[in-house]
A and B are shown apart, each in its own frame.
Chain A
Amino acid sequence: MAPSTNTFETLELKNVGRSFGGHDALVDLNLTVRAGEFIALLGPSGCGKSTALNCLAGLLPLTHGEILIDGKRVDILPSEKRDFGMVFQNYALFPHLSVEKNIAFGLQMRNLPKAEITRRVADGLALVKLQEQAKKLPGQLSGGQQQRVAIARAVVLEPRLVLMDEPLSNLDAKLRLEMRTEIRRLHQSLGLTTIYVTHDQEEALSLADRLVVLREGRVQQIGTPEELHNNPTNWHVADFMGYRNIVDLTVDSVTGSLARVSGHGISIMATVAQTAAVGDTVRVAIRPSDLVVLAPGESPQGRETIEATVNVVEYQGREFAVEVTTTAGQNLFVHAYSALLPGSTVQLSVDPSRALVYRTSLDQVDDSRRQLAGVPA
């Protein structure tokens, strides 16, 4: 299938907002999407990501802001005139139409000549490898096959934007990985511009060129997977990005961008990601893989160590996921490369650059954190 010709330079969302009654589901979403980008909207359920997608698709009218494509407003167009393809969470295949008729539906709506429809449906079927199933009804297909039909139905139209609403959430783990690769492959080979909604950070990190993290309808951070992975802008994003240890500690001293934080049997040097002053209670985020278990006799290389007792050890293939408790009773999660004995005592250390200090509040933060965290404004 030929790469999509039906394209644009930029898609702009300006202060896009949506309220239901008195409740703000989405507030001031500002985002510029370049053609060919893969954007993931990420957040827990109820964060406004699906609302944002439905607003883009035209299934929900905006209550604030505008959506522009190359400077032309599209938010005033009805859904059927926007020329966006959408893949729904429950696939939304027409149950009374065969696979090929489902795929042909959008082409027929455009009154294309019969020969072209036949050709493009065949291309679409080949793209998702469902030629054998062409005459079947959606009900006779497996979940993964239905998902592929839904994707083919959206992309045969060569839409200028593809919207995907948690398309993999109804599939089992193995199929989810396969389809993830498939979606990324289609995105690249067809030159699509994709906006993808998910609550799975791993999915978002692996698929997207840029991520938008939402919480309670508000953007928390926009950035590349690396930026989000390494420099989350607040503890909520950190929590979402796999910083499983989120501990409330007190700031003892601050030197430049480093701070000494302590409490709960922990006393370590950490990097200030937001503002922090001596005496503040702060929230410190550390990934389990950054908490290193020292081998007996190994030197901590000048770093402070945390003494802890091993509670639970889970085997995870290459490594062990271990839950430990500090002397003051704080639970921590660490990764270890050898089996630890439950009940034994271990020494942990952490690179100060991999322990991030955040304010406990999630209210709008000032701009200084951007420089501190090195996130481009």
Chain B
Amino acid sequence: MTSATNTASRAHGSASLKHRLAERGIDTKLLLLVPAIVFALLLFVYPFAYGIGLTFQPLAATQDQWGGGFLSNYVAFFRDAFIFDSVWLTLKLALPAALFNVLVSIPIAFKLRNKFRGKRLLQTLLVLPITLGTVLTAQGLLIFAGRQGWLNRFLMENGIIDQPLALVNNYIGVMLSLIISGFPFAYLLISSYLSGIDPSLEAAAKTLGANWKQRFRRVTLPLLAPGLATTFILTFVLAFSVFPSARLVGDASGDTRVLALMAYRAFSEQLDYSMASTIAIMMGVVELIVIAFVFLGRSFLYKGSTGGKG
């Protein structure tokens, strides 16, 4: 500490102010940050703050119905079962979908680590759904799995079922859509985490007498776990903000009444901007709570290098 002050006082003696500022990283290059800061302020910070402000300006109708003064929107959010239940409905979709995507990606990423003929083709097929929009996926699901879709027609004509399977316009339809669009993300992330683990660690475990189950449980999984947590969070956030597929292949006023739909409805059908903002903010809060839990769990895991040399 003393040596630092010494240097500073000596610098004060000879170097110019410009030099002393530059030493602390303050120079004209900082001006390059201006466009980014303006952009962030105008397009993120201001609308976000404005949105939060809106939530405290409830419509008169909301205040009459739920009371609570300027907090009336929040009172409505928690008291109105139609709105509040959609928190659980959204979680019921997003949590299992994220969990499924992560868990299924692990063995596939494992298998695809080895070299084999046709690996690239298989990888392309697995990642392809990323390039399809959710709308295209929904359209495909309707054509394939709808009441009059190929699958049901095939099964009915061959006498395997009497009644068409209800695979779309309900919970299952949205779940399928979330898996189709979320899996490639999970797979890509996990396979990159996996490739970051030094293969000689597994070789070492092998020569020490560990069979494949022990190698996975004792070596690979602990090193992969932080990556799995991150992947889970990302796919969860993607699934939690589901909107188009909930409307197109879901049951928009029943089982798949997700939060994004509720916010959209509040603003477009009821013209209640303040309620829509409240729902949007609460979406963020629920996401943050889930993420906080995952990070809490992650903090107990080893997070250092996985390169083997430590």
Residues of A near any B CB (own CB < 8 A): 57-59, 78-86, 88, 90-96, 105-106, 109-110, 137-141, 146, 153-154, 157, 163
Contacts and interface: CB of A to CB of B under 8 A. Distances in A.
Interface residues of B, number: 25
Nearest to B226: A96
A80 B212 CA distance: 9
Contact of A58 (B206, B211, B304): B206
Interface string B242-260: 0000000000000000000
Contacts of B204: 86, 88, 92-94, 153
Contact of A57 (B207, B210, B211, B219): B207
B304 A59 contact: no
Contacts of B309: 90-91, 93, 138, 146
Contact of B211 (A80, A83, A88, A95): A80
Given A95-B304, A96-B304, A137 B310 contact: yes
A109 B306 CA distance: 21
Interface string B50-83: 0000000000000000000000000000000000
B310 A59 contact: no
Given A91-B309, A95-B302, A95-B306, A157 B200 contact: no
A92 B200 contact: yes
B129 interface: no
A140 B304 CA distance: 11
B149 interface: no
B208 A137 contact: no
B198 interface: yes
Given A90-B200, A137-B304, A139-B305, A95 B207 contact: no
A139 B223 CA distance: 14
Contacts of A81: 209
A367 to B, nearest CB: 38
Given A79-B207, A80-B206, A106-B209, A88 B200 contact: yes
Give 5 closest A-B pairs by Cβ, nearest first. Answer: A139-B310, A96-B302, A106-B208, A138-B310, A92-B204
Nearest to A141: B310
A81 B206 CA distance: 9
Given A95-B310, A96-B223, A146-B310, A109 B209 contact: yes
Nearest to A140: B310
Contacts of A137: 304, 310
Contacts of B294: none
A141 B200 CA distance: 19
B89 to A, nearest CB: 38
Contacts of A138: 309-310
Contacts, number: 92
B300 to A, nearest CB: 12
Interface of B: 198, 200-201, 203-211, 214, 218-219, 222-223, 302, 304-310
11 contacts: A80-B209, A80-B210, A85-B208, A92-B200, A95-B201, A95-B223, A96-B304, A106-B208, A109-B208, A137-B304, A153-B204
Contacts of B205: 94, 105
Contacts of A59: 203, 206-207
B207 A105 contact: no
Given A80-B210, A106-B208, A157-B209, A90 B198 contact: yes
Contacts of A96: 222-223, 302, 304
Contacts of B207: 57-59, 79-80, 82, 84-86, 154, 163
Given A96-B222, A105-B218, A109-B214, A90 B209 contact: no
Nearest to B212: A80
B83 to A, nearest CB: 44
Contacts of A94: 201, 204-205, 218-219
B310 A93 contact: yes
A282 B306 CA distance: 52
Given A105-B208, A109-B210, A92 B198 contact: yes
Contacts of A91: 308-309
A106 B204 CA distance: 10
Contacts of A139: 304-305, 310
A154 B205 CA distance: 11
Contacts of B306: 95
A157 B310 CA distance: 23
A294 B219 CA distance: 64
A305 B71 CA distance: 106
Nearest to B223: A96
Nearest to B218: A105
Nearest to B206: A79
A105 B306 CA distance: 17
Given A137-B304, A139-B310, A146-B310, A92 B209 contact: no
Given A139-B305, A163-B207, 4 more contacts: A88-B200, A139-B310, A141-B310, A154-B207
